[in-house]
Structure 1
Amino acid sequence: MNGPQRMDRPQVYAPSPARAEGAVVRTAEGAVVRTAEGGAVRTAGGAPAHRPIHAPARPAGIPSADIPLAGRAIGAIGAIGAIGAIGALARRAGRMCRTLLPSACALCGRVQAEVVCAACVAEHFAPEPRCPLCALRSPQGRRCLPCRADPPPIDAALTLGDYAPPLDALVLALKRGVALPHARWFAEALADRLADPHAGTPPARPAASYRPWPDLLIPIPLARERLATRGFNQAWEIARPLGRRLGIPSDATVLARRGDAAMQHLLNLNDRLANVQGAFVVTRRAAIEGRHIGIVDDVMTTGATLREAAYVLKAHGAVRITVLCALRTP
């Protein structure tokens, strides 16, 4: 008994409206053909081709095996371009907001676009000679007597001005009033000062390891209790925009504080030095080994905290330490 006879269905092809005339496709049989008018796929003989499979034309100079990789590369380039465009748009929007919604100068109250007006910057933040190791005022930018007698593990120190009226109000508003725009302004001012060769002091210890800008920015960490109470680390709020402005990475996790020490501002110099001994720990040696590290803080008072942080970082492989502090106690 003969089995049921199989009847071949006629092959029917429904053209895709999205397929343009002349598009290159590959049939199930492997033949590469081009679409005719209306998007229908035709073989060389003019007959309809069955079950077409799209085969994009290979770009010139790229082997067929590399087409997926090239596509991913082109997509990545497009994504990077989109991110750059978004960043430029965000910066433009920020400038527009400062123009349309001006603020009062934090020092004199004059209504203008920035946290500190240009007149107050010229009056209170003019560069002046300072010790290259501790940022105290020093004639002709030479090392001060304490730094000559007991050189710190700091290779260079940079500050914007003295922590004294009226400038101290900027830091107090940042820490106690959560005036976070002050942190951004400090970061921009530090970046400008670091980039201006006439604004700072010459390198303290020129050596083969000397590099003008740090490779990595690290904020002085807060004690856990203080961080929980304040809700943010003002040094980190300065370090982040500073790194973005300079194109330098920043990391708030490389240096950690061990335990909760007593508040430094309540202690004298000797007690401060004893209070911070062993206060810091490096969490990832590989992140700092062989690198120039920039330590960021809001105020450098006696320098005890920054000295200890620099000592620990160098003990774990840092080759150079630059301190970047917004203000310096005279």
Structure 2
Amino acid sequence: MNCQPWLKALVYKCININHTCLLCSDAAEQRYPLCAACEQELPWLDEHCLRCALPLPMAGLICAQCSRRPPAFDQVIAPWHYGFPLDTLISRFKHNSQWPLGRLMAEMLSLNLSHRFQEGLPTPDLLLPVPLARRRLRQRGFNQAGMLGRWLSKALAIECDERLLLRTRETPAQQRLDARGRQRNLRQAFALASEASLKGRHVAVIDDVLTTGATAQAIAQLLRHAGARRIDVYCLARTAKPGQA
């Protein structure tokens, strides 16, 4: 008697259904470890700028800054705004090495992107994670953007290359700086590897959070100069302006 189909069914059930929610510890009853109630409570980003994903009061608008000075990138895709409890999940992933939380968020981002691809969002040829400064990489032990890029690459079947985009100098942490300070901080902070060939290609930059957009802008300018045809930014969350809910 061949019992292999039954075993496969058990494996499928274990992998896709028998999860515990990573937020409330109840049975998730979904293909990823998050229950429907906690998923609904996440700070979903519905109304936002069509270019930089800045949270706005209404959908379908472009923010004033992007209207006055269009960024070098084409579009930011972020499922959530940077609010509770997502801010805690990202912090625990980055600073406490709680990788299952990062894997969960990457899987949900990949589902969001797959849906957008089906609705007409252009699919990129290449994923490029934002590189981490060497000192910070030694302290943390991993690059969160690189891990997100690898998980997205597997889920979306899109190539991810962590070697083409380089961090050329150490810079102070962006969190301590205002918008202008972030821009000055990132001047000549990135470079492309000598073997990079991006002319005519559609690339997506991968990061965890987009705050002022200074990092995305600096990298997008570099990629434009290298001949990239389209540049998108995929991140987990987008912050609001200071003082904005």
Bin for the TM-score computed over the shorter chain: 0.7 to 0.9
Structure 2 counterpart of 1:248, one-letter code: I
In structure 2, the partner of 1:157 is 76
Q: Give distance in 2, aligned partners of 1:196 and 1:179.
A: 27
Aligned twin of 1:129: 47
1:105 aligns with 2:15: no
Distance across 1 between alignment mates of 2:107 and 2:134? 28
Shifted more, 213-222 versus 136-145: the winner is 136-145
Distance 1:94 1:321, change over 3 A: farther
Q: Separation in 1 of the partners of 2:239 and 2:115?
A: 23
**Which consecutive residues of structure 2, in runs of 5 or more, have no partner in the other structure?**
1-7, 241-245
Residue of structure 2 equivalent to 1:326: 236
SS of 1:287's partner is: coil
Paired with 1:97 and 1:196, the residues of 2 have a C-alpha distance of 22
> Could you say which residue in structure 2 is the equivalent of 1:237?
147
State the TM-score, normalized to the length of structure 2.
Answer: 0.85
| 8 Å CA contact retained: 1:193, 1:199 | no
Structure 1 stretches of 4+ moved >3 Å: 92-95, 97-100, 197-200, 284-287
**Match of 1:223, as an amino acid?**
A
- State the alpha-carbon separation in 1 of the partners of residues 232 and 43 from structure 2: 20
Q: TM-score, normalised by structure 1?
A: 0.64
Give the C-alpha shift of residue 286 in structure 1. Answer: 4.0
Q: What is the count of residue pairs matched by the alignment? A: 229
Q: Return the alpha-carbon distance in structure 2 between the equivalents of residues 278 and 124 of structure 1.
A: 36
Shift in Å, 1:227: 0.4
Partner residue, 1:252: 162
Measure how far apart 1:115 and its partner are: 3.5
Amino acid at match of 2:143: N
Structure 2 CA distance for aligned equivalents of residues 103 and 173 of structure 1:
18
Pair 1:93–1:227, CA change in 2 (3 A) = farther
Q: CA deviation at 1:104?
A: 3.6
CA contact under 8 A between 2:28 and 2:35: conserved in structure 1?
Answer: yes
2:14 alignment partner AA: M
- Which runs of no fewer than 5 residues in structure 1 stay unpaired? 1-88, 204-211
How far did 1:222 drift? 0.3
Partner-residue secondary structure (3-state), 1:321: strand
Aligned-pair Cα RMSD in Å: 2.3
**Structure of higher CA gyration radius:** 1
Partner of 2:123: 213
Deviations 1:261-292 (A, max 9, x none): 11100111111000001100000454322100
Distance 2:118 2:95 in 1: 30
Give 1:1-330 correspondences, 5 Å limit: 93=11, 96-97=14-15, 99=17, 102-106=19-23, 108-112=24-28, 114-126=32-44, 128-138=46-56, 139-197=58-116, 212-284=122-194, 286-330=196-240
Identify the structure with bigger relative contact order (alpha carbons < 8 Å, sequence gap 6+). Answer: 2
Contact 1:105–1:111 (8 Å) recurs in 2? no
- The equivalent residue for 1:78 is none
Give % identity. 35
1:198 is displaced (CA, Å) by 9.7
- Whether the aligned pair in 2 keeps the contact of 1:238 and 1:296 (CA below 8 Å) is yes
